[in-house]
Structure 1
Amino acid sequence: MTASGAAAFVGDDHWFDDGLYTSVTELAHRSPGPLDTAISLWSAYGLALFGALLLAVWWRARRPASGARDATGPARAMLALAAPVVVLAAFVVNSALKSLLREQRPCRTLHVVTVEACPALGDWSLPSNHAVIAAAAATVLFFTDRRLAALAVPAALLMAASRVWVGAHYPHDVALGLAVGVLVSWPLMTAARRTAPLAGRLRKTRLRPLVARR
């Protein structure tokens, strides 16, 4: 289903949340420059935080089990290794959805003033890649380290909101992106729990550093 077809229930080239998108971008236009700059920087580079958190959870998982409640020992190490693969899988699924839905960017259809330059024609909007990656990262961290997840969850919501603020996405783009990130990564991480026995085997090979510190 294309974006034009999906939007037919509201009107040609219009969505139910056009007004909300316009209100947010107008608020951004009236906001102080430093605030817009900070949100724009987070929108552009904030995904690096999630990468750092995934690296941190892998590093922590290689420590000897210490009674952590989330996942301990071999199970935690294998989940930490699976985490970036699961996030990548969520991104791939989302890219396929983008190609299928083919929704044009709101800054192209509504012609509003935005904080960031509007992406080129054909750079599809639905669902938001940033929201998908952030939500998937937060989900895998929920499985591996609840303390880091407590940071990642609000960060994912802020990432989604920032994409609307800078004008790159409709609210429904980021909402669906968050949903896709969770719905793809949750069952994959649940399945990854079954790989825990592989950690014991890896510890006996040259790949030991992947699951345990020497």
Structure 2
Amino acid sequence: MGVPDISTDLYRTVLDAAGAAPGWLQGFAVFFTEAGVVLLGLLMVAGWWQTRRGSARAMGLSLLTSAAVVAAYATSEVAKLIIEQERPCSAVPGAVPIASCPELGDWSFPSNHSTIAGAAAMAVFVCRRGALGAVALVLGALVAFSRVVVGVHYPHDVAAGFFLGLLVVGVASALGVHRVTLLVQRFRPHPLLGPGVARPTVADSAPDTDGEVTTVLSAVPAADTAPTRPLPPAPHWPPESLDDQRGQG
């Protein structure tokens, strides 16, 4: 696969800027390119833990997106083995990366880091939405860009990997959420799936020892209570036959 000239030029520009940065900033970039992926993974784990007491759909999305992240990584790894694009830190003359350049055979396109970052960020966005989901997407994009900053990927490597991760998780979530939700409903409660949403309670009234009415919460939902039947009328006593006998006596 040929490398676009614009990608090589952008790589040189970013790498020159990274090489001119202070040492502490270079060290942070090398740390962040790995730690950012770990942080996204922790956000996914935290989301799964919270959905253990959530709805079956929320738990289903958490499990489905986790599996989709693995599928996205596997897809990028297969693509790398087929395309076999050399790393820029080895192919571009005069390139001096601030991170260690991988050995020959650890191919460049697409970026596995960027694929995982994009997939994990999309997983958090799908499951959590709101501000946290938006932050996850920004964090994933920064992790992808950091692979260019440290000098181990071309810009088109990280762009392809990032959008691959977004696409795989997004499509899997849209197509598989219904079936996975049904599976979660079937296998709850389970240590990994959690007890689910707490069932609603109904208020019963019972007299206490002082004769006052006290509200007691019952764990049985109102919909599950068996319907009550009217009591049969009390039998007349004494029977009419005895009354007649007495009257006759």
TM-score calculated relative to the size of structure 1 = 0.85
Structure 2 spans left out of the alignment, 5+ residues: 199-249
Q: In the alignment, what sits opposite 1:116? A: 99
1:176 aligns to 2:176 (yes or no): no
Instruction: Quote the offset at 1:208 in angstroms.
Output: 4.9
1:197 aligns to 2:187 (yes or no): no
The structure with more radius of gyration: 2
Q: Distance in 2 between matches of 1:163 and 1:17?
A: 13
**What RMSD, in angstroms, separates the aligned Cα atoms of the two structures?**
1.6
8 A Cα contact 2:72 2:168, kept in partner: yes
- Give % identity: 36
Which residue, 150, 159, 162 being the options, matches 2:146? Answer: 162
8 A Cα contact 1:78 1:211, kept in partner: no
Instruction: Quote the offset at 1:209 in angstroms.
Output: 4.3
Q: Runs (4+) of structure 1 moved beyond 6 Å?
A: none
Instruction: Quote the offset at 1:191 in angstroms.
Output: 2.1
Q: In the alignment, what sits opposite 2:43? A: 53
Q: In the alignment, what sits opposite 2:207? A: none
8 A Cα contact 1:203 1:211, kept in partner: yes
Instruction: Map Cα deviations across residues 150-171 of structure 1 (whole Å, 9 max, x no partner).
Output: 2210111110110000001000
Which residue, 58, 79, 94 being the options, matches 1:76? Answer: 58
Q: In the alignment, what sits opposite 1:89? A: 71
8 A Cα contact 1:58 1:80, kept in partner: yes
Q: Which amino acid aligns with 1:24?
A: V
Instruction: Quote the offset at 1:79 in angstroms.
Output: 1.0
Q: Distance in 1 between matches of 2:82 and 2:32?
A: 28
8 A Cα contact 2:110 2:161, kept in partner: yes
Structure 1 spans left out of the alignment, 5+ residues: 65-72
Instruction: Quote the offset at 1:212 in angstroms.
Output: 2.9
Q: Distance in 1 between matches of 2:27 and 2:136?
A: 22
Q: Which amino acid aligns with 1:58?
A: W
8 A Cα contact 1:136 1:185, kept in partner: yes
1:151 aligns to 2:141 (yes or no): no
Q: Distance in 2 between matches of 1:209 and 1:120?
A: 39
> Across the two proteins, how many residue pairs are aligned to each other?
194
SS at match of 1:210: coil
TM-score calculated relative to the size of structure 2 = 0.74
Q: In the alignment, what sits opposite 1:42? A: 32
8 A Cα contact 2:65 2:172, kept in partner: no
8 A Cα contact 1:24 1:165, kept in partner: yes
Instruction: Quote the offset at 1:74 in angstroms.
Output: 0.8
Q: Distance in 2 between matches of 1:44 and 1:26?
A: 21
8 A Cα contact 2:57 2:177, kept in partner: yes
Q: Which amino acid aligns with 1:125?
A: S
Instruction: Quote the offset at 1:88 in angstroms.
Output: 0.2
